[in-house]
A and B are shown apart, each in its own frame.
Chain A
Amino acid sequence: MSAQTISPSLTDNPLCSDWLTFEADGRVTLKTGKVEIGQGILTALVQIAADELDISPDRFDVISGHTALGPVEAGTSSSLSIEVSGKAIRHAASAVRKLLLTEAGTLLQAEMSNLSVVDGAVHVGGRDSSLTLSSLASSVDLGQSVMEFASPKQPGERRLVGTSMPRIDLLHKAVGEHFIQNIALPGMRHGRIVQPPSGVRRLVTFDEAALASKFPDVTIVRNGSIVGVIAETEAVVIKAIELAAKLVTWNEPEPPPKNIFGTLRALDNAPEVTADKGDVAAVTGKKISLTVTKPYIAHASIAPSCAIATWTASDKIEVLSHTQSPHGLADGLGVVFGLDGMNDITVIHKPGAGTYGHSGQDDAALDAVLLAKSVPGVPVRVLWSRADDFQSSPAGCAMVVHAEGVLGDDGRIASISMESLSQPHAQRPGRGGFAEMTNAALLDPPLPVTPVSADVPPARGGGADRNATPLYAIPNVHVQKRILQKWPVRTSALRGLGGYANLYALEGLMDELAEAAGQCPVAFRVAHLEDKRAAYLIERVAEMAGWPGPSGEGEAIGVAVSQYKNKSAYSAVAVRVRLDEEVRLLNVYAAVDSGEAVNPDGIRNQIEGSIIQAASWTLKEALAIDGDRIATDGWDAYPILKFSEIPEIEVELVDRPELPSLGVGETAVGTTGAAIGNAVKRAIGLRLLDLPLTRDAIQAAINK
């Protein structure tokens, strides 16, 4: 196998020393481009490396998301970290072990087959030789090819992988000062900018004198349409920026944008066809169609976006950021400031609160660098306000999804057609050599306009079309998407991308087709699944939930199944709901198959969390839009699921040690939303198509 087929990260970082180095004190440094965003990835990667090296996990330190010291890897997204970085690390660690043991064999004049490793100590014939892997590392060149020496252990030989090792970072995150928001560098000052209402606005006036007279000690920074302040203390910055926001005026955008759903429905640009099989137009039978709308939703992290930047006297930039793509951010900042992202800019990842996608992290970094440029050598920290974080972060896309199925006379599905309409789902910094940060376009001189994003290509799992292609064996299938470009509300990646809305429509359609065929939704799905892993899960989750359970009378179970991106982890979800005035979640059951489970409890934790987050989207969440800008300014206007609304949750993993590990962060969001929609239909006989399913939406549907 080539490096590329094992992991693209090995092509870019082919050497053992790109991934692992040994320190003089016997500690091991594991290096990864992937970053911890609450998903437990660093723990899982340490498990993998520790297993291959036979060194205890507590001897490891991790360098993560450091553009100067770590490997160059793509950002942490799409549930790919285990699949890509994990595989690279497994191979690299096995190669390091081989190189070091070869040296031990020479020194000890022993056969390789006679050597073993016990927590880093080399044993010969079962006896401690007094050599350790780390002592050997000082005389062995680890700058050698991973692929040449890699020989990972067989699944049965792994001892740590497959165990629920506790998170290496959780205690610090509970009680410590572990987050970017908590870092204070020596001499650091605080800054903020007045966030423009949207990327299409330009500053018209700013009464700088009024601000300066009220706050004589703050540094006022101006660049194009950006107004910012820097001060000694955070308390002063907060007050100064509040006043500054009242001292600016903005132009009114032309022409005022229309309602997003109307705009999406009216799209008539050429569709991109992402799946086409048979001939859907030629099919006859009973036709069922439905259209789902999903509003813009927020990443809504508990901590607002934050960054600390230093612009050095020699025109280098160092940025601490909770970005998910350190290299992309460095490239993006390079474009904005005319520097070489690779050599002049260092981005170092520091953990933030969970954002579940591309929120304001990168934009906050741009703000910090912009301000830092005017005070060379001084670190400047920017922490957005909660309102800024709702209003200036990219949003999760609003979508319209048309789903249509035809039931043949034989009671089987003859065709399914899907059309997904939305803005692009991933517009991260550095893409294609462009900045991709809103405020970059508002500087003087403005940067060249970023070309439109074609959305995430099917090879990377698709964006608007993610999971729109049915997993079921259906003879005629047509899937297409239309992307709305140049819309003032900026969008980017949020957990699951288009998969959440597409599955709400597609798995809803499956229930409608089953009903039309007079069949049980579970059996109907199984009858259309050639994929045995998916078929097993839907039957298993039905059993866990006590399917079919009650039906009607305001209480019911709904089910859904999918494979994330049609090529990653599988999940089947069953939700039991009760409807009184609103949807009350009673129980959620999930059966999950993600191949070899590196850390089963970590996987359960991710699945539980994604179920709760998707339930929150489904029942509550929508950003309010006012023309070109996001109007939602705080938690009062954006409720999320509360503790007293949390259902009982039961997750079962199907461990398949013989199959490759697949990322699980996103697989259950689409199935959870769809299962709720299906449960509501079975409970009250109404299919609710416009998300979210709030109390008002339920009442309106019942009264109609």
Chain B
Amino acid sequence: MATEIEFEVNGGRQRVKEDGATPLLLALRNNLELRGTRHGCATGNCGACAVLVEGRPVTSCNTPVEAVAGLTVETIEGFERDAVGKALLGAFMNEQAGQCGYCLAGILIRAKAFLVNTKSPSRADIAEALDDHLCRCGAHHRILTAIERAANELSGGQAA
């Protein structure tokens, strides 16, 4: 049964008319036409679809859209609105961290939530924070380096 569900996405108020059980992933991509969030496994196992809900990373493929009613959602489209997002994206490009790039949106989202809450993480801390994210291309090494680099920039250049 379709109902009206209202929430905030990337700073703007949005309303979708959807069955409340429909995954947030599909509501974002199809109802709101924000297709930067990636459709991966759709079973909560790969991390490709991660978005921030109230600043916390969730896999949008197994989050019903009704669960975010009244809450704030950030997707990759809104990623660069703050300093952490800018630093991360810049670092990923500088390191050329990625190959096909499909996993990157979810990983960037996760990395942002992590860096907001963790100052000066070690490489091992970063790796552990990303363990729910899969990358088939083997871009892991560069992704870790890019996140280290962004963390370093954000802390004013003091290496972890």
Chain A interfacial positions (CB closer than 8 Å to B): 37-40, 164, 166-167, 169-179, 181-182, 184, 233-235, 238, 300-304, 351-356, 383, 385-386, 601-602, 605-606, 608-613, 616, 634-636, 640-644, 646, 648-649
Interface residues of B in 100-158 (CB under 8 A from A): 100-105, 108, 124, 126-128, 130-131, 133-144
**Across the A-B interface, the 8 shortest Cβ-Cβ residue pairs:** A173-B101, A612-B138, A38-B100, A353-B102, A609-B138, A354-B100, A38-B99, A635-B45
Is B99 within 8 A of A303, CB to CB? no
Which residues in B have their C-beta under 8 angstroms from that of A169? 101
Q: Chain A CB within 10 Å — which of B35, B45, B101, B130 has the most?
A: B101
Query: How near does chain B come to A393, taking the closest CB pair, in angstroms?
Result: 13
Cα of A662 to Cα of B130 in the assembled complex, Å: 34
Chain A residues in 8 Å Cβ range of B39: 181, 303-304, 383
Q: CB < 8 Å: which of A39, A164, A636, A646 contacts B45?
A: A636
Question: What residues of B have a CB within 8 angstroms of the CB of A302 in the complex?
Answer: 38, 40, 46, 48, 100, 102-103, 134-136
Report chain A residues within 8 Å CB of B136.
300-302, 353-356, 613, 640
Cβ B26 vs Cβ A303 within 8 A? no
Assuming the contacts A174-B108, A235-B30, A646-B144, asked whether A386 and B43 have C-beta atoms less than 8 A apart, the reply is: yes
Q: Is the CB of A634 within 8 A of B26?
A: no
Residues B36 and A303 in contact, CB atoms below 8 Å apart? no
What residues of chain A lie closer than 8 Å to B38, measured between beta carbons? 179, 181, 302-303
- B5-13, B50-58, B66-74, B89-97: which lies at the A interface? B89-97
The reply to whether A303 and B79 form a contact with Cβ atoms under 8 Å apart is no
Q: What CA separation (Å) do A697 and B131 show in the bound complex?
A: 23
Partner of B89 from the list A175, A300, A355 (CB cut-off 8 Å) is A175
B77 close to A (CB within 8 Å)? yes
What are 22 A-B contacts with C-beta separation under 8 Å? A170-B98, A174-B92, A174-B93, A174-B104, A175-B79, A175-B105, A182-B35, A235-B23, A238-B42, A301-B102, A302-B103, A303-B38, A353-B103, A353-B136, A354-B100, A386-B42, A608-B139, A610-B138, A634-B45, A643-B143, A644-B124, A646-B127
Contacts of B41 in A (CB 8 A): 304, 386, 634-635
Chain A residue contacts of B135, Cβ below 8 A? 302
User: Which residues from chain B contact A176 at a C-beta distance below 8 Å?
Assistant: 36
Is B84 an interface residue, CB under 8 A from the partner?
no
Q: Which residues of A contact B35 (CB under 8 A)?
A: 177, 182, 184
Contacts of B100 in A (CB 8 A): 37-38, 173, 302, 351-354
The interface size of chain B toward A, counting residues with CB under 8 Å, comes to: 54
Q: Is the CB of A608 within 8 A of B141?
A: yes
**Considering only CB atoms, which chain B residue lies closest to A182 in the complex?**
B35
CA separation between A37 and B29, bound complex, in Å? 23
Q: Which of A175, A355, A383, A386 has the largest count of B CB atoms less than 10 A from its CB? A: A175
| CA A635 to CA B105, docked complex, whole Å | 19
Nearest-neighbor residue (CB-CB) of A183 within chain B: B35
C-alpha gap A39/B139 in the complex (Å):
11
Of chain B, the residue at the smallest CB distance from A301 is B136
Q: Do A167 and B96 contact each other (CB < 8 Å), given the known contacts A235-B22, A303-B48?
A: yes
In the bound complex, do residue A646 and residue B40 qualify as a contact, i.e. CB atoms below 8 Å apart? no
Please tell me if the beta carbons of A38 and B144 are within 8 angstroms of each other in the complex.
no
B87 touches A (CB below 8 Å): no
CB-CB under 8 A from A300, the residues of chain B are 136
Chain A residues near B46: list those with CB within 8 A: 302, 386, 635
Q: Are B96 and A170 in contact (CB under 8 A)?
A: yes
**Cβ-closest chain A residue relative to B29:** A182
- A170 pairs with B101, CB closer than 8 A: yes
Name the distance in Å between B125's Cβ and chain A's nearest Cβ.
10
Contacts of B108 in A (CB 8 A): 174-175
B33 at the interface (CB under 8 A from A): yes
Q: Known contacts A303-B38, A303-B39, A646-B144; is A173 also within 8 Å of B102 by CB? A: yes
In the complex with contacts A174-B105, A613-B136, A385-B99 CB distance below 8 A: no
Q: Which residue of A is nearest B26, CB measured?
A: A235
In the assembled complex, which residues on chain B have CB atoms less than 8 Å from the CB atom of A610? 138
Bound CA–CA A28/B128 (angstroms): 45
Distance in angstroms from B85 CB to nearest chain A CB is: 10
* Residues of the A chain whose Cβ atoms lie less than 8 Å from the Cβ of B93: 166, 170-171, 174
Nearest Cβ in chain A — how far from B109, in angstroms? 10
CB nearest to B135 among chain A residues:
A302
Q: How far is the CA of A663 from the CA of B133 in the complex (A)?
A: 29
Q: Which residues of A contact B43 (CB under 8 A)?
A: 386, 634-635
CA distance A385 to B46 in the complex (A): 13
The chain A residue sitting closest to B30, CB to CB, is A234
In the bound complex, CA of A259 to CA of B130 (Å): 37
Q: Which has the most chain B C-beta neighbours within 10 Å: A164, A351, A386?
A: A386
Residues of B within 8 A of A238 (CB): 42
Contact, CB under 8 Å: B130 / A643: yes
Task: List 4 additional contacts besides A302-B46, A635-B41; criterion CB under 8 Å.
Answer: A164-B96, A171-B93, A386-B46, A605-B96
B36 touches A640 (CB 8 A): no
A643 & B133 in contact (Cβ 8 Å cutoff): yes
B36→A175 contact, CB < 8 A: yes
Say yes or no: A644 contacts B138, CB within 8 Å. no
Which residues of B have CB within 8 Å of A642? 131, 134
The distance in angstroms between the C-alpha atoms of A666 and B151, with both chains bound, is: 33
The minimal Cβ–Cβ distance linking B155 to chain A, given in whole angstroms, is 21
Nearest-CB distance from A475 to chain B (Å)?
39
In angstroms, Cα B43 to Cα A40, docked, is 30
Q: Is the CB of B26 within 8 A of A234?
A: yes
Contacts of B127 in A (CB 8 A): 643-644, 646
* CB-based contact A605/B142 at 8 Å: yes
Chain A residues contacting B96 (CB-CB under 8 Å) are: 164, 166-167, 170, 601-602, 605
Residues from chain A with a CB closer than 8 A to the CB of B130 are: 643
Does A609 lie within 8 Å of B139, measured CB to CB?
Answer: yes
Give A641 to B92 CA distance when docked, in angstroms. Answer: 21
Residue pair B134, A635 in contact (C-beta under 8 Å): yes
CA distance A39 to B136 in the complex (A): 12
Is B89 touching A174 in the complex (CB atoms < 8 A)?
yes
For B41, B89, B98, B141, which residue has the most chain A Cβ atoms within 10 angstroms? B141
A494 vs chain B, min Cβ distance (A): 12
Measured in the bound complex, the distance between the Cα atoms of B76 and A172 in whole Å is: 11
Is there an interface contact between A354 and B45, defined as CB atoms closer than 8 Å?
Answer: no
CB distance from B9 to the nearest CB of A (A): 15
Contacts of B77 in A (CB 8 A): 175
CB distance from A171 to the nearest CB of B (A): 6
